[in-house]
Every structure is written in C-alpha cells, then in structure tokens.
Structure 1
C-alpha cells in the first residue's frame, strides 16, 4: 500500500537513520555507513554533482578521522520530516536539514528487507533559501 506514514515502526526506524550520515548514534564509521548503503547506492550532492558509493565512503572515512566524537545533534536540526511508501517496502524520506547558516532540502530512498534490514538506495541534498 502506497501513502504517507504517520505512526509506524517503519516511520520510527527511518527517522532514526536521518539525517543520513549525520546521526553518529547510527553511523559512526565508514563500516557503519557501508552497512546502511545498498550496493548500488549513489547520491546527488548540493552542488548537483553525482557521487558514487565509493566516493561517499571515502569522504565519510575522512570525516570520521577528523571528528571521531559522537555528534550529539546540537549543530543541526531537522524539520518537515515525511515518509511515503512508494513501492513494496520502499520509502521516500524528505526533510529540511538546518546546519546554520546552510539550509538544505533532503530526500532519501530507503528499502527494508527482513534479511538485510534497512538500506539507503539514493540520497540528494539541495541548498534552499530560508523563507
């Protein structure tokens, strides 16, 4: 069944994973990120560039080496969080990430599996202006 999720285990599981690669309680190493990403994961950065899974893992490895401490979340906030089922066990997650002074609209596509758990297939961030 396709549609917006308002209260479910799926909504909670996906909210816990976003913002993607910012939640150090979920992803605190490149190995953690590797487990969260589908084998064919890719993303479109705020620059509009396409980034491969390997590039993202290398970037995260550098980020974790520079700042190994867990991020308590004080440096960012999430608003307008929404999850919609777009196909069987496949979900579109959208939200706004505020990392002062940068504001980005984010979208991720996640797929859930009994065997592999949650895997992110795609992610995009687009810089937006405050209203």
Structure 2
C-alpha cells in the first residue's frame, strides 16, 4: 500500500481536470462496499453544483464574452467562480484521500468512478 500519492502536472492542471467533472454527479457504486471513511469521501466527491448555478455561470460567461457584462454581473460571476473553485479543490482533496486510502493511483480511482482525467 502506498503511503503517498504522486500526481503529475501543476496544481493549475490538476484543478483544470477537476473542472471537467465538477458539474457532473459521480457514480457512487462503491458506497455499500466501502468503509465509513470511503463513504464520506465518496459523498464529498459526489457533491455537485446546482444546475441553476451552472446555467447562471454559463450565461454570465456568454455575456462576458459578448462584452455586455455589467459590474454587478461581473461580481456575481466572480462569486460563482470562487464557489466552483472551492468545490473543485475539496473534490480533488477527497479524490486524493480516497486514492491513498485504497492504495491506488489518482488515475485509477478516477477511472473506477467514471471521472475523465482530461479532455
């Protein structure tokens, strides 16, 4: 069993990969078989962002790209982005902890859970 987990890439690249699955629900097929700690980690990994939040985020991004974003909307976009970043960091931390707990690589755990590594 590994005591540490090696991850390739910069922190920004790891977070960029996290963004790829942040709006999706992760399959929790291992909940019944896992330990209490695994169950808690899987729940943390599965926490999603409400679809309304994603809709608002994408609308604001489109407005920013069209250069029609108001100051208030810009502040709203920043707030949503901050929440998404925090959620992604928590999810990556939980994935890393789960990989360590299982003695697997991060890539193996992500593959088992159906989370794409990168696009």
Higher helix share: 2
TM range (shorter): 0.3 to 0.5
Task: Tell me the TM-score normalized by structure 2.
Answer: 0.34
Q: Which protein is richer in strand relative to its size?
A: 1
Higher RCO (Cα < 8 Å, 6 or more apart): 2
Find the structure with the greater CA-based Rg: 2
TM-score, normalised by the number of residues in structure 1: 0.32
